[in-house]
Amino acid sequence: MITDWAIYYQQNKHLPLNKIMENYNKLILEYNDRITLVNQQTPLSGGPAGNASTTIDLIYSSLSAAGQSSFNSTAVGDFFNVSAADYASVFASVTGATKYAMNDSQLAESNDAWSAGYAFTLPAATSTIPASSYVIGFAAKANAGTGTITPLISTTFTGSYSAVSNSPSFTVGVPAAIQYYIRRNPQTPTASTSYLAMVSTLDRIRGTTVYNNFFALSPYNSWTTYNAAAPVQQFISTTTKCWV
Protein backbone atom coordinates (compact mmCIF):
# COMPACT_ATOMS: atom_id res chain seq x y z
CA MET A 1 0.00 0.00 0.00
CA ILE A 2 1.36 3.41 -0.98
CA THR A 3 2.18 6.00 1.68
CA ASP A 4 -0.37 8.83 1.95
CA TRP A 5 0.88 12.15 0.52
CA ALA A 6 0.45 14.03 3.81
CA ILE A 7 2.54 11.46 5.68
CA TYR A 8 5.16 11.30 2.92
CA TYR A 9 5.43 15.10 2.89
CA GLN A 10 5.98 15.26 6.65
CA GLN A 11 8.68 12.60 6.39
CA ASN A 12 10.51 14.48 3.64
CA LYS A 13 9.72 18.16 4.23
CA HIS A 14 13.40 18.90 4.71
CA LEU A 15 13.71 18.51 0.93
CA PRO A 16 12.59 21.08 -1.70
CA LEU A 17 8.89 20.71 -2.61
CA ASN A 18 9.61 19.89 -6.26
CA LYS A 19 11.97 17.09 -5.17
CA ILE A 20 9.35 15.71 -2.76
CA MET A 21 6.72 15.68 -5.52
CA GLU A 22 9.15 14.08 -8.00
CA ASN A 23 10.03 11.28 -5.55
CA TYR A 24 6.40 10.75 -4.57
CA ASN A 25 5.36 10.45 -8.22
CA LYS A 26 8.07 7.80 -8.69
CA LEU A 27 6.58 5.84 -5.77
CA ILE A 28 3.13 6.04 -7.38
CA LEU A 29 4.45 4.86 -10.74
CA GLU A 30 6.27 1.94 -9.10
CA TYR A 31 3.13 1.06 -7.14
CA ASN A 32 0.99 1.11 -10.31
CA ASP A 33 3.54 -1.09 -12.09
CA ARG A 34 3.35 -3.62 -9.24
CA ILE A 35 -0.46 -3.61 -9.32
CA THR A 36 -0.45 -4.11 -13.09
CA LEU A 37 1.92 -7.07 -12.74
CA VAL A 38 -0.22 -8.67 -10.03
CA ASN A 39 -3.38 -8.31 -12.11
CA GLN A 40 -1.67 -9.74 -15.18
CA GLN A 41 -0.62 -12.77 -13.15
CA THR A 42 -3.99 -13.13 -11.36
CA PRO A 43 -6.82 -11.83 -13.59
CA LEU A 44 -9.92 -10.53 -11.89
CA SER A 45 -13.20 -12.37 -12.39
CA GLY A 46 -15.31 -10.73 -15.08
CA GLY A 47 -19.05 -10.65 -15.83
CA PRO A 48 -21.57 -13.45 -16.22
CA ALA A 49 -19.37 -15.32 -18.68
CA GLY A 50 -16.39 -15.09 -16.34
CA ASN A 51 -14.36 -12.89 -18.68
CA ALA A 52 -11.08 -11.70 -17.17
CA SER A 53 -10.39 -7.99 -16.60
CA THR A 54 -7.06 -6.33 -15.81
CA THR A 55 -8.21 -2.68 -15.94
CA ILE A 56 -6.39 -0.43 -13.48
CA ASP A 57 -8.02 2.88 -12.54
CA LEU A 58 -5.01 5.16 -12.94
CA ILE A 59 -6.94 8.32 -12.03
CA TYR A 60 -8.20 6.99 -8.70
CA SER A 61 -4.99 5.17 -7.78
CA SER A 62 -2.93 8.33 -8.41
CA LEU A 63 -4.81 10.34 -5.78
CA SER A 64 -4.04 10.82 -2.10
CA ALA A 65 -6.53 9.62 0.51
CA ALA A 66 -8.14 13.08 0.52
CA GLY A 67 -8.28 13.10 -3.26
CA GLN A 68 -9.85 9.65 -3.34
CA SER A 69 -12.49 10.82 -0.87
CA SER A 70 -13.36 13.74 -3.17
CA PHE A 71 -13.34 11.36 -6.15
CA ASN A 72 -15.84 9.08 -4.43
CA SER A 73 -18.22 11.95 -3.65
CA THR A 74 -18.15 13.27 -7.23
CA ALA A 75 -20.41 12.06 -10.05
CA VAL A 76 -18.76 10.08 -12.85
CA GLY A 77 -17.56 12.47 -15.54
CA ASP A 78 -17.47 15.54 -13.27
CA PHE A 79 -14.53 17.66 -12.14
CA PHE A 80 -13.50 18.11 -8.50
CA ASN A 81 -10.88 20.22 -6.73
CA VAL A 82 -7.56 18.56 -5.81
CA SER A 83 -4.19 19.50 -4.36
CA ALA A 84 -1.21 20.47 -6.50
CA ALA A 85 0.39 17.14 -5.59
CA ASP A 86 -2.64 15.12 -6.73
CA TYR A 87 -2.82 17.07 -9.99
CA ALA A 88 0.85 16.35 -10.66
CA SER A 89 0.42 12.72 -9.67
CA VAL A 90 -2.49 12.12 -12.06
CA PHE A 91 -0.58 13.77 -14.90
CA ALA A 92 2.49 11.63 -14.20
CA SER A 93 0.54 8.39 -13.88
CA VAL A 94 -2.20 8.47 -16.54
CA THR A 95 -1.03 6.95 -19.80
CA GLY A 96 -0.56 9.52 -22.56
CA ALA A 97 -1.56 12.51 -20.42
CA THR A 98 -0.71 15.79 -22.19
CA LYS A 99 -1.00 19.41 -21.03
CA TYR A 100 -2.64 22.00 -23.29
CA ALA A 101 -2.97 25.80 -23.35
CA MET A 102 -0.28 27.04 -20.92
CA ASN A 103 2.74 25.14 -19.66
CA ASP A 104 3.58 24.97 -15.95
CA SER A 105 5.81 28.06 -16.01
CA GLN A 106 3.13 30.16 -17.70
CA LEU A 107 0.50 28.82 -15.32
CA ALA A 108 2.53 30.28 -12.45
CA GLU A 109 2.66 33.77 -13.97
CA SER A 110 0.73 36.59 -12.27
CA ASN A 111 -0.57 39.87 -13.63
CA ASP A 112 -3.82 41.83 -13.32
CA ALA A 113 -7.36 40.43 -13.48
CA TRP A 114 -9.52 39.28 -16.40
CA SER A 115 -13.24 40.03 -16.05
CA ALA A 116 -15.69 37.35 -14.94
CA GLY A 117 -18.15 35.95 -17.45
CA TYR A 118 -15.83 36.13 -20.46
CA ALA A 119 -14.86 32.79 -21.97
CA PHE A 120 -11.27 32.71 -23.14
CA THR A 121 -9.28 30.49 -25.47
CA LEU A 122 -5.60 30.60 -26.33
CA PRO A 123 -4.42 30.15 -29.94
CA ALA A 124 -5.56 26.97 -31.67
CA ALA A 125 -2.00 25.63 -31.74
CA THR A 126 -2.06 25.34 -27.93
CA SER A 127 -5.76 24.57 -27.34
CA THR A 128 -6.45 21.76 -29.82
CA ILE A 129 -6.95 18.16 -28.66
CA PRO A 130 -7.19 15.21 -31.06
CA ALA A 131 -10.20 13.04 -31.73
CA SER A 132 -10.90 10.29 -29.17
CA SER A 133 -9.58 12.45 -26.30
CA TYR A 134 -10.71 12.56 -22.69
CA VAL A 135 -10.30 15.86 -20.82
CA ILE A 136 -9.24 14.73 -17.33
CA GLY A 137 -8.05 17.90 -15.58
CA PHE A 138 -7.51 21.64 -15.65
CA ALA A 139 -6.01 24.49 -13.61
CA ALA A 140 -6.60 28.24 -13.31
CA LYS A 141 -6.23 31.20 -10.92
CA ALA A 142 -9.01 33.15 -9.23
CA ASN A 143 -8.54 36.83 -8.38
CA ALA A 144 -10.84 37.04 -5.33
CA GLY A 145 -14.01 35.59 -3.83
CA THR A 146 -15.78 32.30 -4.47
CA GLY A 147 -17.66 31.22 -7.57
CA THR A 148 -17.56 28.52 -10.25
CA ILE A 149 -15.35 27.73 -13.22
CA THR A 150 -16.25 25.85 -16.40
CA PRO A 151 -14.01 24.21 -19.01
CA LEU A 152 -15.59 24.61 -22.46
CA ILE A 153 -15.19 22.57 -25.65
CA SER A 154 -16.04 22.96 -29.34
CA THR A 155 -15.41 21.16 -32.63
CA THR A 156 -14.76 24.54 -34.30
CA PHE A 157 -12.07 26.85 -32.94
CA THR A 158 -14.11 30.08 -32.97
CA GLY A 159 -17.48 28.35 -33.19
CA SER A 160 -20.04 27.45 -30.53
CA TYR A 161 -18.64 26.19 -27.22
CA SER A 162 -20.40 24.25 -24.46
CA ALA A 163 -19.39 22.87 -21.06
CA VAL A 164 -17.13 19.82 -20.99
CA SER A 165 -18.96 18.67 -17.87
CA ASN A 166 -19.87 20.39 -14.59
CA SER A 167 -18.86 23.78 -13.16
CA PRO A 168 -16.91 23.07 -9.93
CA SER A 169 -16.39 25.65 -7.19
CA PHE A 170 -13.60 28.18 -7.79
CA THR A 171 -11.86 30.31 -5.19
CA VAL A 172 -8.52 31.85 -4.29
CA GLY A 173 -6.15 28.97 -3.53
CA VAL A 174 -2.53 28.04 -2.92
CA PRO A 175 0.14 28.04 -4.17
CA ALA A 176 -0.06 31.45 -5.85
CA ALA A 177 -3.84 31.19 -6.13
CA ILE A 178 -3.68 28.24 -8.56
CA GLN A 179 -6.68 25.93 -8.29
CA TYR A 180 -6.36 22.38 -9.62
CA TYR A 181 -9.10 20.02 -10.82
CA ILE A 182 -9.30 16.37 -11.84
CA ARG A 183 -12.23 14.67 -13.58
CA ARG A 184 -13.76 11.45 -12.32
CA ASN A 185 -13.41 8.80 -15.04
CA PRO A 186 -14.99 10.39 -18.16
CA GLN A 187 -16.66 7.73 -20.30
CA THR A 188 -17.17 9.37 -23.70
CA PRO A 189 -14.20 10.56 -25.79
CA THR A 190 -14.32 13.43 -28.25
CA ALA A 191 -15.75 12.38 -31.62
CA SER A 192 -13.42 14.67 -33.59
CA THR A 193 -10.62 17.19 -33.18
CA SER A 194 -11.77 19.67 -30.52
CA TYR A 195 -10.80 23.00 -28.96
CA LEU A 196 -10.72 24.05 -25.32
CA ALA A 197 -11.68 27.29 -23.58
CA MET A 198 -12.55 28.36 -20.04
CA VAL A 199 -15.02 30.70 -18.31
CA SER A 200 -15.57 31.65 -14.67
CA THR A 201 -18.07 33.57 -12.56
CA LEU A 202 -15.03 35.19 -10.87
CA ASP A 203 -12.32 37.48 -12.21
CA ARG A 204 -9.32 35.38 -13.21
CA ILE A 205 -5.62 36.22 -12.96
CA ARG A 206 -3.82 36.90 -16.24
CA GLY A 207 -0.28 35.77 -16.93
CA THR A 208 2.44 37.80 -18.61
CA THR A 209 3.00 35.83 -21.84
CA VAL A 210 1.36 37.53 -24.85
CA TYR A 211 -0.76 35.46 -27.26
CA ASN A 212 -3.18 36.11 -30.11
CA ASN A 213 -6.20 34.97 -28.07
CA PHE A 214 -9.98 35.08 -28.39
CA PHE A 215 -12.75 35.89 -25.89
CA ALA A 216 -16.55 35.63 -25.92
CA LEU A 217 -19.60 36.22 -23.74
CA SER A 218 -22.40 33.67 -23.31
CA PRO A 219 -23.54 31.80 -25.39
CA TYR A 220 -19.85 31.59 -26.41
CA ASN A 221 -20.38 31.49 -30.16
CA SER A 222 -19.11 34.93 -31.26
CA TRP A 223 -15.40 35.46 -30.58
CA THR A 224 -13.24 38.60 -30.50
CA THR A 225 -9.49 38.54 -31.04
CA TYR A 226 -7.32 39.75 -28.15
CA ASN A 227 -3.58 40.09 -28.70
CA ALA A 228 -2.30 40.40 -25.12
CA ALA A 229 -1.56 38.43 -21.96
CA ALA A 230 -4.17 35.77 -21.26
CA PRO A 231 -5.87 34.60 -18.06
CA VAL A 232 -3.88 31.58 -16.97
CA GLN A 233 -5.39 28.22 -17.86
CA GLN A 234 -4.17 24.71 -18.43
CA PHE A 235 -5.91 21.46 -19.42
CA ILE A 236 -4.90 17.80 -19.18
CA SER A 237 -6.16 15.35 -21.78
CA THR A 238 -5.36 11.83 -22.97
CA THR A 239 -6.50 9.51 -25.75
CA THR A 240 -5.92 6.44 -23.57
CA LYS A 241 -8.77 5.36 -21.27
CA CYS A 242 -6.95 3.77 -18.33
CA TRP A 243 -9.78 3.79 -15.80
CA VAL A 244 -13.11 2.01 -15.36
Mean pLDDT of the chain, nearest integer: 87
Residue 168: inside a domain: yes
CA 220 → CA 30, 50, 52, 105, 214, distances in Å? 43, 48, 45, 28, 11
Residue 147: inside a domain: yes
Portion of the chain with pLDDT greater than 90, in percent = 72
Assess whether 9 and 82 both reside in one domain. no
Assess whether 112 and 152 both reside in one domain. yes
Residue 51: inside a domain: yes
- Return the sign of the alpha-carbon dihedral for residues 70, 177, 98, 78: positive
Domain boundary among 56, 77, 103: 56
DSSP string, 140-201: EEB-SSEEEEEEEEESSTTS--EESS---EEE--TTTTEEEEEES------SS-EEEEEEES
Residue 243: inside a domain: no
pLDDT of residue 43: 39
Going by pLDDT thresholds of 50, 70 and 90, the confidence category of residue 48 is very low
Residue 91: inside a domain: yes
Assess whether 43 and 133 both reside in one domain. no
pLDDT of residue 56: 78
Assess whether 14 and 99 both reside in one domain. no
8: domain range? Answer: 1-56
> In terms of Cα–Cα distance, which of 183, 206, 212, 228 is closest to 107?
206
Assess whether 179 and 160 both reside in one domain. yes
Assess whether 47 and 167 both reside in one domain. no
Mean pLDDT over 176-205 rounds to 95
Assess whether 122 and 233 both reside in one domain. yes
Residue 244: inside a domain: no
Number of domains present in the structure of the chain: 2
Assess whether 14 and 68 both reside in one domain. no
Mean pLDDT over 42-67 rounds to 64
Residue 3: inside a domain: yes
Assess whether 11 and 87 both reside in one domain. no
Assess whether 32 and 105 both reside in one domain. no
pLDDT of residue 173: 75
pLDDT of residue 51: 35
pLDDT of residue 52: 34
State the amino acid at position 169 in one-letter form: S
Coil, helix or strand at residue 36: helix
pLDDT of residue 188: 96
Mean pLDDT over 59-84 rounds to 97
pTM: 0.78
Assess whether 162 and 210 both reside in one domain. yes
Assess whether 86 and 148 both reside in one domain. yes
Domain boundary among 9, 24, 56: 56
Tens of pLDDT, residue by residue over 93-148, are 999 999 999 999 999 999 999 999 999 999 999 999 999 999 999 999 999 889 99
